[in-house]
Amino acid sequence: MSLSQEPIPETNKLKVIPDATCTHCGCLCDDLVLSVENNKVVEATNSCEAGKTYFLNQQTQDEPEALIEGKPTTYPEAIDKAVEILLAAKNPLTYGLSETTTEAQRVAVAITDWVGGIIDTTTSIGRGSSGLAIQEVGEVTCSLGEIKNRADFIIYWGANPVKNQPRHLSRYSLLAEGEFLPNGRKDRTAILIDVKKNETAKEMDPFLKVKPGSDFELAWTMRALLKGIDPDPSVEKKTGIKLDLIKNLIDQMKDAKYGAILFGAGITHSPGNELNRESIHLLTRDLNQFTRWVSRPISSQGNATGADNVLTWSTGYPFAVSMGRGYPRFNPGEFTAPGLLARKEVDAAFMISTGPMLNFTQADQEYLKTIPVIELSSGVSQFKAQPSVSLKSSTYGIHSAGTVYRMDHVSLPLRPSLKSPYKSEFEILKMIEEKVLIKTKEK
Amino acid sequence: MSLYLIKGGTLYDPKNNIDGVQEDLWIQDGKIIPSPKSQETKPDKIYDVRSMVVMPGGVDMHCHIAGPKVNTARKLMPEDKRNALKIERTAITRSGTTGSVPSTFATGYLYAGLGYTTAFDAAIPPLGSRHAHEELQDTPIIDKGFYVLTGNNHYIMKKIQSGEPHLVKSYLAWLLHATGGYGVKVVNPGGVEVWKSTGGNISGMDESVTHFDVTPRQILQAISRSVHEMKLPHAVHIHCNNLGIPGNASTTLETMHALEGARGHITHIQFHSYGGHPDDQSTFCSRVPELADYVNSHDNISVDVGQVMFSKTTSMTGDGPLGYFLHKVMGRKWYSGDTELEAGCGIVPIEYKNKSFVHSLQWAIGLEWYLLVEDPWKIAMSTDHPNGAAFLAYPEIIALLMDRQKREEVLKTVPQKIKDHCTLADLHREYSLNEIAIITRAAPAKILGLENKGHLGPGADADITIYNPQDDLQKMFEIPRYVFQAGELVVEDGEIRTPSSGKVFCVRPEYDQEHLKDINSWFDKNYTIQFNNYKIDDAFLGAHEIISIKHE
């Protein structure tokens, strides 16, 4: 494993870093130009407002590099303790990985493999459903550049890119000038399907308001119409959309040259999400009997896509993997972190760059207070109780190099701009892995 | 570094004209060295391999083992893995899963376990090259590399259209630098673009590609000419138009003609050797004899086979419209991925059954190729892993080639009418160990232009596979006694001894830096990542070897 990194400037003079990648959302815009002075980003051009705030507000932190039971200590001491916990556990859980580099994710999988634990990522809820839909029916999709260059018809479904992925429209989709769509917006038809008229609606041709919890029925109705089957009229009441409107939409969709359904959290984070997503995959597949259509999710956080890829190439499965028997087994539900904790099936937790743990129930959180927890993170602690070991890392993309995967599974390099007193997650995990290997040999 | 002696083995080293001769081999610093002149020289370790068969490490020149397509296939098929061979963690090796698309660590261990020490991924989309390198870094032991997909690239088609072949050449050279690739691959030239633009495909070499006033013939010729002029170690690697379609042998023959004497490697040619009519399955037949005649009489062409074996596997291809075609045939789940820097991808689960007339004929057609190409230096063993079968099928294929009896036994189990649709039943040829050494190591190394692979002469990389002779040829090749990679003992009786990491092969042809501006501005205008973030730098590549280009 190798990390290429241009040296971060030693001087306090103004330095300009072009082609910097922003990890603030899954768009991973890699065209930022950062001006750095006195180890602070003073300007971030090309960035959206959220990205700008992210870069300009990086604080120089003054916290201990590590804590054991809340008491300041050094990395080596804390790492010894962490290794002790991991090796003493019968069934340790590694969880998180969305807010770090691919390189760190690779080491996290290795450690879990050596200690025979369970590994799960933030994809296990929400985007994890994507994995299940792909396993059921496959997927017809494309890279963001193909949408830019070809998509003359775009449906944003349960998505609000204007708010959540601000540069998606201008860089990758609706507003972008494409190879075969030289006039950008004018050459495209765009529709929003959502439960409410969100900020993206004003950019659209029509907006279709769908009743909450009826995306599946809408997609299935569209599939029926494509196959020439008359849907039951009750779908009007269920979805809140007139059948004539749906028929008209389907006719338009059949006339597109290259259509794209870009779906967001409204699909992937709502009840029955895997079936929602499956229905969109099937609709897309069916549309290809008439013309070209693709679909892809639009929402993803940081490097969750990287975690998805790393777990898949090293274990064969994208999330919810147990190495407890000495080889990888996959079972969503059984090996996904939230349920595992509530059922009290793990006896230690290694929480790495988890981001906010919104998917965790009260029962999960309560159980975490009762087992040894090792937290490795560049941000604030996500835990109510004091973790047994806290390891503070530098921030990926700000201080540390590596690669990250964009929402369309394209690997991009990071160009760190600031110096940090902390080690990167990759460096800390590497130290842990080395120690684990030494200790297991001693055994 | 240590000095090893491999003593008294029976060597099969076709490149050095050694066919079953008892000889010692000396290894130092990862290389094979001449036998020391002094009788006094004491090796640090002696491996006594008297009565054993010694060959160079195997070289797989066409497989799918890394990158976005392979990883999606892994994700797509959990049902393929649950009951398959498990790769358990040991004190020194990682765990993994298998099925038709093994995880990265499993891939490295399994290849090494078979005595293969080098493997090339045959189809990396330019947009996925960084991803591919990340996977290759996690694929242990074997040396590796990849070919970059180019046959539907818009810049290339534009420059053919505008009559600027020098820019086609510079673009290909730049692309190899930027991606850390080893070779140039053409997949269904023009056809993938037609799929993206219309949902159709291209069927003839002189049809025009949508949006671009160029033909598959022009694309192939412009790229093969550029590869020839750049003097790349490996010729253009060609997946012809019309893969899998009855009657496609005519397209394959036309493709060979279109090279006009320039070097070209036609890959998984089994899938391109069919006669009959696309609409009438009963007419499906082999046209290997006439294609093999062409290969036998033309030294510019090499092939690998893409052997089909009866098993469950995964079809994965850069040929997007082929993926859709297979989905319609199979009716099962289907993945399709279109990418900028223009490549396609299709993935479909597939099962080859010996009860099927078509599948049995495909199996027979692959074997016909091995048996009808007279000069084994022109043909490399492949299953197009995992398309025809997983690479784990190689020992079984070796047994079929060396033992006519074994072929006849299988022939008894398939629909008998295939005998009227191919010549396999009449082919009596049996491969010798020397010929096996050619098609599994020496020839692919030669076709790839890798001078330090595929042989056991001084200066070669010390990649050595040692087998215990057995009556059961399949068993003999399944579990080598010893495997050395870069001079280290990596496998002993199927167990990994040294989980080394191997290296990546790259080429860096020269090109006119003035042309970079045009490429850069095209890239900025049409793609969604920054030009400077696209290029992969040497530090990221990790252990790599740049194969020099010979300008004699």
| Contact indicator for B181, B129 with CB cutoff of 8 Å | yes
CA distances from A78 to A71, A83, A380, A423, A437 (A): 10, 9, 18, 13, 17
**Residue B528 clears pLDDT 80, i.e. is over it:** yes
Between strands B143-149 and B53-56, the pairing is unpaired
Q: Looking at beta carbons, which residues of chain A come within 8 Å of B538?
A: 4
Binary contact (B540, A317; C-beta < 8 A):
no
Binary contact (B340, A4; C-beta < 8 A):
no
Binary contact (A2, B542; C-beta < 8 A):
yes
| Together in a domain, A373 and A292 | no
Shortest Cα distance, chain A CAs vs residue B261, angstroms? 36
Tell whether B134 is within 8 A of chain A (Cβ): yes
Write down the pLDDT at residue A128. Answer: 58
Between strands B301-304 and B264-266, the pairing is parallel
Shortest Cα distance, chain B CAs vs residue A335, angstroms? 15
- B77, B137, B324: residue with CB nearest A288: B324
Binary contact (B89, A257; C-beta < 8 A):
no
Binary contact (A294, B87; C-beta < 8 A):
no
Distance (Å, whole) CA B240 – CA B238: 6
Residue B458 identity (one-letter amino acid): P
* CA-based torsion, B115, B117, B118, B122: positive or negative: positive
| Together in a domain, A347 and A257 | no
Tell whether B355 is within 8 A of chain A (Cβ): no
ipTM strictly over 0.90? yes
- A135, A179, A328: residue with CB nearest B154: A179
Q: Looking at beta carbons, which residues of chain B come within 8 Å of A285?
A: 334
Judge whether A60 lies within some domain. no
Choose the final residue of a domain: A297, A332, A357: A297
Binary contact (B96, A314; C-beta < 8 A):
yes
Distance (Å, whole) CA B531 – CA B534: 5
Between strands B3-13 and A411-413, the pairing is unpaired
Q: Nearest-CA neighbor of B397 among B495, B234, B270, B266?
A: B270
Categorise residue A240: left if φ over 0, alpha if ψ from -120 to 50, beta otherwise.
left
| pLDDT, mean of residues B149-154 | 98
Binary contact (B335, A3; C-beta < 8 A):
no
**Residue A385 clears pLDDT 90, i.e. is over it:** no
| pLDDT, mean of residues B432-458 | 98
Q: Nearest-CA neighbor of A146 among A295, A297, A302?
A: A295
Tell whether B403 is within 8 A of chain A (Cβ): no
Binary contact (A315, B95; C-beta < 8 A):
yes
Query: pLDDT digits over A142-155, tens only?
Result: 999 999 999 999 99
Write down the pLDDT at residue A26. Answer: 86
Judge whether A11 lies within some domain. no
| Contact indicator for B381, B440 with CB cutoff of 8 Å | yes
Write down the pLDDT at residue B72. Answer: 97
| Least confidently predicted of A264-278, A289-303, B124-138 | A264-278
**Residue A187 clears pLDDT 90, i.e. is over it:** yes
Write down the pLDDT at residue B382. Answer: 98
Judge whether A272 lies within some domain. yes
Closest residue of B to A106, CA-based? B138
Choose the final residue of a domain: A237, A269, A297: A297
Binary contact (B86, A327; C-beta < 8 A):
yes
Write down the pLDDT at residue A356. Answer: 82
- B77, B103, B541: residue with CB nearest A313: B103
Write down the pLDDT at residue A384. Answer: 81
| pLDDT, mean of residues A332-354 | 94
Q: How confident is the model at residue A10 (pLDDT cuts 50, 70, 90)?
A: low
Distance (Å, whole) CA B182 – CA A302: 32
**Residue A105 clears pLDDT 60, i.e. is over it:** yes
| Together in a domain, A203 and A76 | no
> Three-state SS across B108-153?
HHHHHHCCEEEEEEEEECHHHHHHHHHHHHCCCCCEEEEEEECCCC
Domains of chain A: total: 2
Sorted by where each begins, the domain ranges of chain B are 55-504
Q: Which strand ranges, in their side-by-side order, compose the sheet holding A207-209?
A: A207-209, A189-194, A153-157, A258-263, A292-297
| Least confidently predicted of A187-201, A294-308, A389-403, B189-203 | A294-308
Write down the pLDDT at residue B84. Answer: 96
Q: How confident is the model at residue A126 (pLDDT cuts 50, 70, 90)?
A: low
Write down the pLDDT at residue A75. Answer: 98
| Together in a domain, A138 and A220 | yes
Write down the pLDDT at residue A125. Answer: 65
**Residue A129 clears pLDDT 60, i.e. is over it:** no
Distance (Å, whole) CA A304 – CA B468: 48
Q: Nearest-CA neighbor of A428 among A61, A25, A83, A68?
A: A83
Binary contact (A142, B339; C-beta < 8 A):
yes
Binary contact (B196, A258; C-beta < 8 A):
yes
| Together in a domain, A134 and A122 | no
- On average, the pLDDT of chain B sits at 97
Write down the pLDDT at residue A310. Answer: 98
- A2, A138, A292: residue with CB nearest B199: A292
Write down the pLDDT at residue A60. Answer: 72
Query: pLDDT digits over A235-260, tens only?
Result: 999 999 999 999 999 999 999 999 99
Closest residue of B to A172, CA-based? B528
A87 is in which domain, residue-wise? 66-126+302-411+418-442
Write down the pLDDT at residue A123. Answer: 78
Q: Output the six-digit token pair for B309.
A: 């074996």
Write down the pLDDT at residue B205. Answer: 96
What's the alpha-carbon Rg for chain A, to the nearest Å?
23
Write down the pLDDT at residue A289. Answer: 97
Binary contact (B196, A143; C-beta < 8 A):
no
Please report the number of interchain residue pairs, chain A to chain B, with beta-carbon separation below 8 angstroms: 199
Shortest Cα distance, chain B CAs vs residue A70, angstroms? 34
Tell whether B95 is within 8 A of chain A (Cβ): yes
- A145, A294, A313: residue with CB nearest B528: A145
| pLDDT, mean of residues A192-215 | 94
- Percent residues over pLDDT 90 in chain A: 83
Judge whether A33 lies within some domain. no
Binary contact (A410, B81; C-beta < 8 A):
no
| Together in a domain, A438 and A370 | yes
Q: How confident is the model at residue A5 (pLDDT cuts 50, 70, 90)?
A: low
| Together in a domain, A351 and A310 | yes
| Together in a domain, A132 and A274 | yes
Give chain B's length.
552
**Residue B187 clears pLDDT 60, i.e. is over it:** yes
Binary contact (A318, B135; C-beta < 8 A):
no
| Together in a domain, A259 and A213 | yes
Binary contact (A135, B76; C-beta < 8 A):
yes
Q: How confident is the model at residue A130 (pLDDT cuts 50, 70, 90)?
A: low
| Contact indicator for B349, B330 with CB cutoff of 8 Å | yes
Q: Looking at beta carbons, which residues of chain A come within 8 Å of B72?
A: 134
| pLDDT, mean of residues B446-461 | 98
Shortest Cα distance, chain A CAs vs residue B155, angstroms? 11
Q: Is A87 helix (H, G, I), strand (E, B) or coil?
A: helix
Judge whether A58 lies within some domain. no
* CA-based torsion, A277, A279, A283, A286: positive or negative: positive
Binary contact (A285, B334; C-beta < 8 A):
yes
**Residue A9 clears pLDDT 80, i.e. is over it:** no
Write down the pLDDT at residue A299. Answer: 75
Judge whether A12 lies within some domain. no
Q: Which strand ranges, in their side-by-side order, compose the sheet holding A15-20?
A: A15-20, A32-37, A40-45
| pLDDT, mean of residues B176-198 | 98
Closest residue of A to B529, CA-based? A30
**Residue A268 clears pLDDT 70, i.e. is over it:** yes
| Together in a domain, A254 and A333 | no
- A18, A179, A312: residue with CB nearest B526: A179
Q: Nearest-CA neighbor of B71 among A267, A312, A182, A443?
A: A312
Write down the pLDDT at residue A59. Answer: 83
- A3, A329, A412: residue with CB nearest B529: A412
| Separation of CA B444 from chain center | 9
DSSP state of A171: I
Query: pLDDT digits over B75-86, tens only?
Result: 999 999 989 999
Q: Which residues contact A264 (CB under 8 A, 6 or more apart)?
A: A156, A157, A158, A159, A160, A161, A164, A297, A298, A299
Judge whether A29 lies within some domain. no
In CATH terms, the fold of domain B55-504 is TIM Barrel (3.20.20)
Please, is B425 exposed, middle or buried when counting C-beta atoms within 10 Å of its C-beta (0-12, 13-18, 19+)? middle
| Together in a domain, A293 and A166 | yes
Q: Quickly tell me which residue has 């399907």 as its tokens.
A: A193
- Percent residues over pLDDT 90 in chain B: 97
Write down the pLDDT at residue B551. Answer: 75
A165: CATH: 3.40.228.10
Write down the pLDDT at residue A70. Answer: 96
Give chain A's length.
443
Give the helix ranges, DSSP H, for B394-496. 394-402, 404-411, 433-437, 443-448, 473-478
Q: Output the six-digit token pair for A250.
A: 């389907």
Give the helix ranges, DSSP H, for B283-419. 288-297, 320-330, 357-372, 394-402, 404-411
Cis peptide before A206 (omega within 30 of 0): no
Q: How confident is the model at residue A3 (pLDDT cuts 50, 70, 90)?
A: low
| pLDDT, mean of residues B378-406 | 98
| pLDDT, mean of residues B476-501 | 97
pTM confidence score: 0.97
| Residue in A28, A140, A426 to test binding to B, most B beta-carbons within 10 Å | A140
Q: How confident is the model at residue A409 (pLDDT cuts 50, 70, 90)?
A: very high
Write down the pLDDT at residue A376. Answer: 98
- Element housing A337 (H / E): helix A337-342
Q: How confident is the model at residue B39 (pLDDT cuts 50, 70, 90)?
A: confident
DSSP state of A409: S
Write down the pLDDT at residue B396. Answer: 98
**Angle at which helices B404-411 and B394-402 pack, to 10 degrees?**
110
| pLDDT, mean of residues A354-381 | 90
| Together in a domain, A137 and A214 | yes
Distance (Å, whole) CA A278 – CA A136: 8
Tell whether B533 is within 8 A of chain A (Cβ): yes
- B526, B532, B538: residue with CB nearest A149: B526
What's the alpha-carbon Rg for chain B, to the nearest Å?
23
Distance (Å, whole) CA B129 – CA B132: 5
Q: Looking at beta carbons, which residues of chain B come within 8 Å of A411?
A: 128, 130-131, 134
Distance (Å, whole) CA B77 – CA B64: 15
Shortest Cα distance, chain B CAs vs residue A326, angstroms? 5
| pLDDT, mean of residues B35-40 | 90
| Contact indicator for B168, B226 with CB cutoff of 8 Å | yes
Choose the final residue of a domain: A297, A317, A336: A297
Residue B178: other Cβ atoms inside 10 A: 20
Distance (Å, whole) CA B490 – CA B27: 14
Shortest Cα distance, chain A CAs vs residue B242, angstroms? 20
Judge whether A152 lies within some domain. yes
Q: Nearest-CA neighbor of B103 among A436, A87, A323, A324?
A: A323
| pLDDT, mean of residues B421-449 | 98
Binary contact (B77, A135; C-beta < 8 A):
yes
Query: pLDDT digits over A54-103, tens only?
Result: 999 998 778 999 999 999 999 999 999 999 999 999 999 999 999 999 99
**Residue A344 clears pLDDT 60, i.e. is over it:** yes
**Residue B52 clears pLDDT 80, i.e. is over it:** yes
| pLDDT, mean of residues B201-221 | 96
Strands (E) in B227-356, as ranges, are: 236-239, 264-266, 274-277, 280-286, 301-304, 312-317, 334-338, 346-351
Q: Looking at beta carbons, which residues of chain A come within 8 Å of B68?
A: 409
Query: pLDDT digits over B324-360, tens only?
Result: 999 999 899 999 999 999 999 999 999 999 999 999 9
